[in-house]
Amino acid sequence: MRLTVETASKSFPGVKALDRVSLDLRPGEIHALMGENGAGKSTLIKIITGVYQPDEGRVSIDGSEVRFSSPRDAIAAGISAVHQERNLVPRFSVGENIALERLPTKRGLIDYAEVDREARRYLDLLDRGIDTRAEVRTLSVAQMQIVEIAKALSLEAKCLLLDEPTASITEHETAALFTLLRRLRGEGVAMLFVSHKLEEVFAIADRVTVLRDGKNAAEGVPIAEMSRQKLVSLMIGREERIAKIRERTIDAADVVMEARGLATSLGHRDIAFSLRRGEILGLYGLVGAGRSELAKAMLGGAVTGGDLIVRGKPARIRDMHEALRSYRIGYVSEDRKGEGLILIHSVRENVAITIWQRIAKVLGLIPPGAEARAVQPFVDRLEVRTPSLSQAVGNLSGGNQQKVSIAKWLAANADILIIDEPTVGIDIKTKTYLHELIGEIAAGGVSVILISSDMPEMITVADRILVMHGFRIVGEVMNDHRYETTSKAIMSRIHAVEESEPEAAT
């Protein structure tokens, strides 16, 4: 199938999301769609799939114009999409979600054996570890993403639109996905691929289209003619900048939080570390190492043994509210949409949630304007793209929603901040700002625990890196900010454990 978009425009109140955009998607190609947060990528995909109607312009399949009034029409025409926001039904099983569009029945009842078989067929191509009968709400963020991809694949479409399919999955799963996409390319499927990870685009794409402020900055340029620098300057209008992390002197004796032999009900054993004032302590590990779980257990009443000491006193923290209120510890969750944001509330209200206590003069009464004054600097600094602070967060682009949830925590009056995968879905320009901002809040005396699967990010930002594997801390690496040596040191710790206990590796 050859799918073309000509001079498509789309406006929302206060925003021209697309301005006469063109795209030519050919059979048997992987076409990358690139651009900053808010550039219009997801809107373009939603116009193709009938979620939105264009204000002008047209979409054609093999030369004839099509008009889809709903996503169902697009599916019927052979177009399948993985949207950026999750579209799974949390209380349905993995199998039911994958087969949702066409549940197999037997004598009028859903044929569950067939549902499982169907689901396995696509799921196994990506990850054999996911149970088709598990309820989706029990899965990790990475697993949900895989289910979404399997669901899109199961439609066996001639045209596949993938909006940041790799945002929350690891390199390992991405490699499996890429093998599959290459196979589909061989079968003549036309594929559109959105990602903020430039390495991925250079690894898989044949051609690239770039959007900037809703306009074409490039259209269908062969990847062989594109360099990283050129692509970056097409996206952001200037060259890539390396983050400069503020120099700090950290006093090893000034410990603000310490774990001594912690065990948790989630399965952690012998967790010991100390976090110093103004330090950025990295927590690195492969998916399943238990990093996010450690944060959630420490702050969520799941410590079953050992001691957690905050500012010299033993702490028993029951929930996140207590963590912030009584211990001034904030946690920026990896699942920002699930745990971090209220989509129907405005940008201002979402950011201000954590600072209400600080700015409320009288209980429950917030002086007019105070909220906006407290919020604005963070919104500016992270360049949250929004027509105003009163915009509902749900109307922002995916990356801008992420920025809001991070701004919220940076605005909070926390002295210890645990930040989980801060730059997932964030464009390369803001990623640099965010790294510098983390450095600055640390320079201001805040202690940070940084959980990240992004090794270059870890090596740029962290002072010290704890390596986790199988719910234990298996090593500590001083970061010299040199990629080669530090990444090798980290991986060698992981490999050493995997070799000494091969059964625990899976």
Ligand X SMILES: Nc1ncnc2c1ncn2[C@@H]1O[C@H](COP(=O)(O)OP(=O)(O)OP(=O)(O)O)[C@@H](O)[C@H]1O
Which secondary structure element, helix H or strand E, spans residue 397, and what is its range?
none
Q: Which is nearer to Mg ion, 132 or 405 (CB)?
A: 405
Size of the site for ligand X (CB under 6 A): 19
- Of 95, 165, 282, 398, the residue at the interface with ligand X (CB under 6 A) is 398
Residue 427 Cβ vs ligand X, minimum distance, rounded to whole Å: 6
Query: Does the protein bind ligand X through residue 385 (CB under 6 A)?
Result: yes
Query: Does the protein bind Mg ion through residue 143 (CB under 5 A)?
Result: no
- Of 9, 42, 168, 486, the residue at the interface with ligand X (CB under 6 A) is 42
Q: What tokens appear for 214 in the block?
A: 């809703």
Tell me, letter by letter, the H, E, C secondary structure of 428-459.
HHHHHHHHHHHHHHHHCCCEEEEECCCHHHHH
Q: Which is nearer to ligand X, 168 or 479 (CB)?
A: 168
Residues in a beta bridge with 274 = 258
Give φ, ψ of 109 to 5 degrees: -110, 155
Q: Which is nearer to ligand X, 392 or 505 (CB)?
A: 392
With CB under 5 to 8 Å by kind, the binding choice for 422 among ligand X, Mg ion, none is: none
- Of 3, 5, 8, 15, the residue at the interface with ligand X (CB under 6 A) is 15
Residue 242 Cβ vs ligand X, minimum distance, rounded to whole Å: 22
Q: Which is nearer to ligand X, 19 or 118 (CB)?
A: 19
Size of the site for Mg ion (CB under 5 A): 5
Query: Does the protein bind ligand X through residue 395 (CB under 6 A)?
Result: yes
Query: Does the protein bind Mg ion through residue 333 (CB under 5 A)?
Result: no
Query: Does the protein bind ligand X through residue 130 (CB under 6 A)?
Result: no
Query: Does the protein bind Mg ion through residue 398 (CB under 5 A)?
Result: yes
Which secondary structure element, helix H or strand E, spans residue 89, and what is its range?
none
Query: Does the protein bind ligand X through residue 166 (CB under 6 A)?
Result: no
**Side-chain half-sphere CA neighbours of 224 within 13 A:** 1
Distances (CA, A) of 443 to 163, 331, 417, 448: 36, 19, 13, 10
Query: Does the protein bind ligand X through residue 432 (CB under 6 A)?
Result: no
Residue 139 Cβ vs Mg ion, minimum distance, rounded to whole Å: 22
User: How does 182-207 read in b/e, with b if 16+ C-beta sit within 10 Å?
Assistant: eebbeeebbbbbbbbebebbbebbbb
Q: Which of 390, 378, 334 is nearest to 168 (CA)?
A: 334
- Of 39, 59, 256, 315, the residue at the interface with ligand X (CB under 6 A) is 39
Measured N-to-C along each axis, helices 398-411 and 428-443 cross at an angle, to the nearest 10 degrees, of: 10
Amino acid at 4: T
With CB under 5 to 8 Å by kind, the binding choice for 290 among Mg ion, ligand X, none is: none
Query: Does the protein bind ligand X through residue 397 (CB under 6 A)?
Result: yes
Q: Which is nearer to ligand X, 399 or 470 (CB)?
A: 399
- Of 34, 40, 205, 348, the residue at the interface with ligand X (CB under 6 A) is 40
Q: Which is nearer to ligand X, 9 or 395 (CB)?
A: 395
The whole-angstrom separation of Cα 400 and Cα 211 is 16
Distances (CA, A) of 52 to 8, 10, 152, 311: 11, 9, 19, 52
Instruction: List, as own/partner pairs, every contact residues 195-198 make where C-beta atoms lie below 8 angstroms and the sequence separation is at least 24, other chains included.
Output: 195/32, 195/34, 195/164, 195/165, 195/166, 195/167, 196/164, 196/167, 196/399, 196/425, 196/426, 196/427, 196/428, 196/431, 197/166, 198/228, 198/231, 198/232, 198/428
**Helix (H/G/I), strand (E/B), else coil: 343:** coil
Task: For residue 497, count other CB atoms closer than 10 A to its CB.
Answer: 18
Query: Does the protein bind ligand X through residue 209 (CB under 6 A)?
Result: no
Neighbouring residues of 120: CB distance < 8 A, sequence distance ≥ 6:
132
Q: Which is nearer to ligand X, 33 or 418 (CB)?
A: 33
Residue 437 Cβ vs Mg ion, minimum distance, rounded to whole Å: 22
With CB under 5 to 8 Å by kind, the binding choice for 400 among ligand X, Mg ion, none is: ligand X
Query: Does the protein bind ligand X through residue 84 (CB under 6 A)?
Result: yes
Query: Does the protein bind ligand X through residue 396 (CB under 6 A)?
Result: yes
- Of 3, 19, 34, 41, the residue at the interface with ligand X (CB under 6 A) is 41
The whole-angstrom separation of Cα 420 and Cα 62 is 44
Q: Please, are residues 283 and 323 in contact by the beta-carbon 8 Å criterion?
A: no
Residue 97 Cβ vs ligand X, minimum distance, rounded to whole Å: 22
Query: Does the protein bind Mg ion through residue 84 (CB under 5 A)?
Result: yes
- Of 9, 42, 174, 391, the residue at the interface with Mg ion (CB under 5 A) is 42
User: Which residue lies nearest Mg ion, judged by its C-beta?
Assistant: 42
Residues in touch with ligand X (CB under 6 A) = 12, 15, 17, 35, 37-43, 84, 385, 395-400
Residues in touch with Mg ion (CB under 5 A) = 41-42, 84, 397-398
